[in-house]
Every structure is written in structure tokens, then in C-alpha cells.
Amino acid sequence: MSARERAPHQTVDLEAMARAYEAAAGRYPRRVVVCAGTGCVANGAHAVIQAFVEQIAAAGLNVTTEVRAEAHDADLRLSKSGCQGFCQQGPLVTIEPEGILYTRVKPEDVAQIVQETLIGGKVVERLLYAEPVTGQRCHGTADIPFYTRQRRTVLRACGALDPEDILEYISRGGYAAARRAYTELSPQAVCEEVTFAGLRGRGGGGFPTGRKWDLTRKQPGPKKYVICNGDEGDPGAFMDRSVMEGHPHSVIEGMMIAARAIGADEGVVYVRAEYPLAVRRIRKAVADAEQMGLLGDGLFGTEHSFREEVMEGAGAFVCGEETALIASIEGKRGMPMPKPPFPAQSGLFGKPTVINNVETLAMVPLILTEGAVAFRSVGTENSPGTKTFALTGHVANTGLIEVPFGTSLREVVHHIGGGVTDDAGHPTSQGFKAVQIGGPSGGCLTEDHLDLPLDFDSLRSVGAMVGSGGLVVMNKQTCMVSVARFFMRFTQTESCGKCVLCREGTKQMLALLDDITEGRATLETLDLLEKVAKAVQKGSLCGLGKTAPNPVLSTLRYFRAEYEAHVVQKRCPAGQCKALRVPSIDAALCKGCTLCARKCPVGAISGQKKEAHWIDPDKCTRCGVCAQSCKFGAVTGV
């Protein structure tokens, strides 16, 4: 029976559901959990799950893939989870109640796991995570620094519960916070509790969530909306995707509480179409909640109603900006609008609207169940709580992490991340150069910032920002000019073109960066680049344009010497800019065969036969023919 067919004001007994589920789940002495987040799925998690089904059956064991109310015999339960965070080591398999975590599991490993662990009670040592330096094997998450040095709140259930099982969410206290909001608290009281908790928007802006809700609550009119912004578009960012895939009901419950706070009866979850797994799981979560009467009319026996719709975005990065997102939902081209009026005043279809990102909404139920004081006890005074980050780049342990605000960059990179790696992925103790934080909207942090606390105010003071939470670690072999060019190319491509400063300014900045990386620039180019960047930052209409210059301005600020090497010495210190590479011939490897000299189209190579040759850098066009023709690998720098 759907929520629309359900009799109004019918209550849902969450505690009875939880007790029934726990009683049924308690009949299975063992549980095998396979990570089925996008990263592990891409590495073959579905094949691992199928291998477990086959091998368990072959071993004569009874297995179930769902918790059933009716009594039946089963030796163990096989289930999937959302992203467990340790993406570098996936696919991941957890054995409960022992707490064993197996890493990089392949289908061919499953037979051994079934025989030795599930039947024999032994641990398969080779599949345990090994510390890179000591080689020590870790039994489970309680032993792995990647996990032990985090504080997982929003993410703690992502890797544990089945994201497609609403009853398991309820058994862990799910929807109790929404019930409290609708049956015990007034809209004003909800706003006040979230305000006191100090929750700030996790999508990048950091605006106080309770204050935003209260502003919307005070707007006149009977019709209001709640929008969940799941249009996560930053390169390397996958925090919101993982929460929607692994903990979708927390997002729905957060939206319900937001709706109660402002008086809304409709909500929209706006998800990137490039996130098919997140779309499928959030849609199933909405349908299951409707089926149980948790969404629809007469919520928790009250007069209130709330329904949700899931909409797929068309892939425009600018739709992460709230007014462009609203336009997209309305069926218009996703382009930002001037503010004021703000969405709290005139949003979706001209009605007062609250827009929060996925992580922000997933935090809300925790505040109403555990209390605002408990929430404020973690993090810093002005940035309470935790923040998820997507840790990628030249770091040993890439993946999804969650730490309290105020945690240092050093803790994240060197302890949770396991340290910096070289381009081949090998650990290197002296390789750290910078971290790009906040994606195209963020800035760079250097060695001088390793002990800087990661929070809204501290990052803003050094010209960076939390952003959505992307953290890209870069080693000494990274060209910072090329990094700035990469992000500028991204934002220039994604500019909607509505305002001149963003449309033309980002294009000019990209052209100037091209000049720098291709050897056509002068010192005046750097001054012009900085001038244009500040103009774009000041005069653009929306957040995309205003923050687009951040990677350029921060790298100019902290790595100006590297820019100057490009324009004055016509040299890329990192050796990454092809046009500025200075080719040379290693005399120890050169055999004097003259093949490179004969192949060179501009006669830039000289030398006697059977003697080491050399390259005239003034004549060389860096075409690479010499390196391609050399049979001894003597030509370098091309």
C-alpha cells in the first residue's frame, strides 16, 4: 500500500519495527559484508558477491541475502554496503562478528575465505591490510590507522548497513529524529536546535544551516520547498555520491526535518545523472519510505505531509549553484540569477525554498537524536562537527575520510593518508609539495600549512576554502602552473556564459596560462593574469565565477618562483610542461650511432661517430624525434 493510499494520521511504530528486525537478524550467527560503493564496484565487487553465493552453496552452507521476518535456517547473511572509504584497497570484505577486514579481494580469493574463515575459523593473512612501512598485518578497522585516526559520524553507517534495506536503517534509530521533529518540536524549536548545534553548510559556503532554515520559516505563504543539492561536480570529489549510495535514508530524514522546520510539504533530490548508483538507491529509499508511510500524508499521526521527488541533473557544473539548480528543476537552462532575492525568499517556482547539500542534510538527524551539545563537542567553536573529504592524488591511502573540523593537514596526509607517494605510487618521505583543497573553487596549501587546522575560518585566512571537500595531494614532481591551468580549463568549459567577466575573463586567464606553459609569456603576463583574476573574482555573478580564480591566485601567491621560472628561464622546474622541457643526451648512455642526428629535422644534434652527442637547445624544437629514434634511451627531458 502506497503512502497516497494510506489512511491519514496513521502512526508508524518504529520501535516495533526495530525489535522485529533485530530479532530476525539475530538468527544469523555470521555476516559477510561486501563493499558495493562505486569504487569497489568498478574493481569487481559484484563478481566477488556472486563468487560468495556460489562458493557458500558449494560448501553446503545456507545463506540469505536479506533479513526475513519468518523463521528459517541460515548459517550466515551475505549483504552489501555503501562505500567503506578505503577505496585504495577495494574491493573490501568484512566478516562479522569477528571484525575481519579483507582487502583487494578477487573472485578467486573467495573459496579460500569460505573454507578457512567461514568454516575453519582462521584468518587469511595475505588478504589483510599491511602497513606500508612495517609490513604489519591489520586484523580489521580497529587496527588500521586509516580508520582509527578518523571520527566517522555520517560515514559510520555507510560501510556497515545495507543501503537498500530501510528496516536496517530503522533498527539503528532511523527516522526517530524526524518523528521527534514532527511530534515534539515546533518549527521554530527545530531551527533553534540546529542553530545551537552550529551546523554549517557542507557544500562549500559554510552558511549556518539553522539560520537559513529560520529565514525561510519566517517567509509568508503556505507553499515552500526543500531541495537536496546532490549535483557534486568538483573533479576528484565523491563525498555526496558515497553518502547517497551508502546512507540514503539519512538524507531523506534530513530533508523531512528541514521540511518541518520551514513548513514545506514537497522536496526534490537533485542528483547528477553521472551517479547512476546513487540515483537508483535514493529512488528506492524514497519509494520504501513512502510504502511504509514515512513519506506522504499524516506523518507520524500528525496533520503534516511531505513528499519527495528525485531528479537527475544534466551534467552542468554550474547547476551546483543554487539559483542555477532551481532553474534546472523548473525546466529552464541552468543559469544563475542575481541575488537578492535569495531562495529563502523566492526560490523554486517563486516560493520560499531551502537548499542544502547531501552531507549537511545527513548530519541533521544526528543533531536531533544525539543532541546539539554533543554535536558541538566535536570540531572547533566556529566550525563544529566533522567533515568528509575525498582524499586523492599522490598519497598512499586514497579514499573517503571523515575528521573533526580543526584536524591538521599533516594528520590527514601523513597519518590517515599514509604519506606522500612518487609518480609510481611508491612512498617518499620528502615528496610533499601542496594540496589542492576545494576543487576548482578552492586553493592550494603548502608545506607551511601542514599544521593549519582544517576549518572554514582558518582556510579562508590563507586564501583557500573547505569547498565540497576534495583534497588532491601533490608531490614535488607536480607543476603548479599546470595545476592552475587544469582547474581554469575546467571552470572555463563549465562557465554558463551569462556574465561577461566569467565568460571572457576565464577564457583570457586560460590563454595567459597557455602562454606561460608554452614559453610565450613575460613577467608582464603574470601581472596581467593576477589583474584579470581579481576582476573575475570581484565582478562575476555567481559562486562559480567568483571562486574560479582561486587556484590561480593561490598558486601565484605561494609558488610565484615557479611561475617566474616558466616566463624568465623558459623552464618548468617540475619538468612537466612539454614546451619547456630541455632535452639532453646522457653521455654515459650515448653510443655515438648518429641516428638521432640524422633524424633531427632542424640539425640541432652534433657529435662525432662513436662519441657522445649533444643537443643545441637554441635550435631544438622539442619535437621528440631524437628520443623516439634512440635505441639506447640516452635522450632525456623530452
| pLDDT band for position 4 (cuts 50, 70, 90) | very low
pLDDT of residue 2: 43
Quick check: 7 pLDDT over 70? Answer: no
Cβ within 8 Å of residue 345, ≥6 positions away? 219, 352
Residue 588 neighbours by CB under 8 Å, 6+ apart: none
pLDDT in tens, 590-603: 999 999 999 999 99
Per-residue pLDDT at 176: 96
What is the rounded CA–CA span in Å between residue 241 and residue 497?
27
pLDDT grade, residue 190 (50/70/90)?
very high
Report helix, strand or coil for 168: helix
Q: How far is CA 631 from CA 586, 593, 622, in A?
A: 13, 9, 18
C-beta separation of 411 from 387 below 8 A:
no
Query: Which neighbouring-strand residues pair with 392?
Result: 472
Crossing angle for the helix pair 209-217 and 187-197, nearest 10 degrees?
A: 160
Specify the pTM: 0.88
Band of pLDDT at residue 441, cut at 50, 70 and 90: confident
Determine the Cα–Cα distance for residues 80 and 65; give it in Å rounded to an integer. Answer: 9
pLDDT confidence of residue 134 = 79
pLDDT recorded at residue 105: 97
Q: What percent of the chain has pLDDT over 70?
A: 97
Length of the chain: 638
**From CA 626, how far away is CA 615, in angstroms rounded?**
10
Residue 195 CA to residue 201 CA, distance in Å, equals 12
Average confidence score pLDDT of the chain: 90
Full set of structural domains in the chain with CATH: 14-147 (3.40.30.10), 166-376 (3.40.50.11540), 386-478 (3.10.20.600), 481-567 (1.20.1440.230), 582-636 (3.30.70.20)
Centre a 10 Å sphere on the Cβ of residue 602 and count the other Cβ atoms it contains.
11
Pairing between strand 225-230 and 137-138?
A: unpaired
pLDDT for 1: 39
Q: What is the dihedral of CA 392, 398, 404, 409, to 10 degrees?
A: -60
Structure-block grid coordinates of residue 433: 609539495
pLDDT digits over 271-322, tens only? 988 899 999 999 999 999 999 999 999 999 999 999 999 999 877 778 788 8
Q: Are 401 and 389 in contact (CB under 8 A)?
A: yes
Residue 637 is predicted with a pLDDT of 73
Q: Among residues of the chain, what percentage have pLDDT more than 90?
A: 65
- Which residue has better confidence, 1 or 124? 124
Pairing label, strands 93-96, 100-102: antiparallel
Query: Distance of CA 56 to CAs 24, 33, 113, Å?
Result: 21, 14, 10
Cis ω for the linkage preceding 235 (within 30 of 0):
no
When computed from its CA atoms, the radius of gyration of the chain, rounded to whole angstroms, is: 28
- Cell 592552475 found at: 484
DSSP state of 150: S
381 near 405, Cβ under 8 Å? no
Amino acid letter for position 273: A
The beta-carbon contacts of 330-336 under 8 Å, at least 24 apart in sequence, are 333/496, 334/496, 335/496, 335/498, 336/496, 336/498, 336/541, 336/542, 336/543, 336/544
**Cell numbers found for residue 307:** 513528499
Where does 183-325 show beta strands of DSSP type E?
Answer: 225-230, 266-272, 307-313
* pLDDT in the model for residue 27: 85
C-alpha cell of residue 227: 531541495
What pLDDT, on the 0 to 100 scale, is given for residue 462? 84
pLDDT of res. 69:
65
Q: Strand pairing partners for 267?
A: 226, 308
Is the bond leading into 97 cis (omega within 30 degrees of zero)? yes
Burial 330-355 (b: 16+ CB within 10 A, else e): eeeebbbbeeeebbbbbbbeebbbbb
Closest among 136, 15, 37, 137 to 86, alpha carbons compared: 37
- Rounded CA gap, 622 and 237, in Å? 36
Of the candidates 579, 510, 595, the residue with the CA atom closest to the CA atom of residue 549: 510
Q: How sure is the predictor about 71, in pLDDT bands with cuts at 50, 70 and 90? A: low
Q: Are 368 and 180 in contact (CB under 8 A)?
A: yes
* 8 or 46: which leads in pLDDT: 46
Q: What's the rounded Cα separation, in Å, for the pair 623 and 267?
A: 57
Pairing between β-strand 399-404 and β-strand 386-393 as defined by DSSP bridges? antiparallel
Distance CA(562)–CA(565), nearest Å, equals 5
According to DSSP H, which parts of 292-321 are helical? none
Q: According to the model, what pLDDT value does residue 72 have?
A: 62
Whether the Cβ atoms of residue 473 and residue 389 lie closer than 8 Å to each other: no
Mean pLDDT within 556-568: 93
For residues 159 and 35, the answer to whether their CB atoms sit within 8 Å is yes
DSSP assignment of 426-494 equals -B-TT-EEEEEESGGG-EEEEGGGTTSB-SHHHHHHTT---TT-EEEEEETT--HHHHHHHHHHHHHHH
Half-sphere exposure of residue 454: CA atoms within 13 angstroms, side-chain side = 33
State pLDDT tens for residues 391-436: 999 998 899 999 999 999 999 999 999 889 887 777 776 689 999 8
Cα angle: 234, vertex 277, 358; to 5 degrees:
50
- Residue of 349 and 10 predicted with greater confidence: 349
Residue 94 in contact with residue 100, Cβ under 8 Å? Answer: yes
Is residue 408 within 8 Å of 205, Cβ to Cβ? no
pLDDT tens readout for residues 353-406:
999 999 999 999 999 999 999 999 999 999 999 999 999 999 988 999 999 999
Q: Which residues sit opposite 268 in a β-bridge?
A: 227, 309
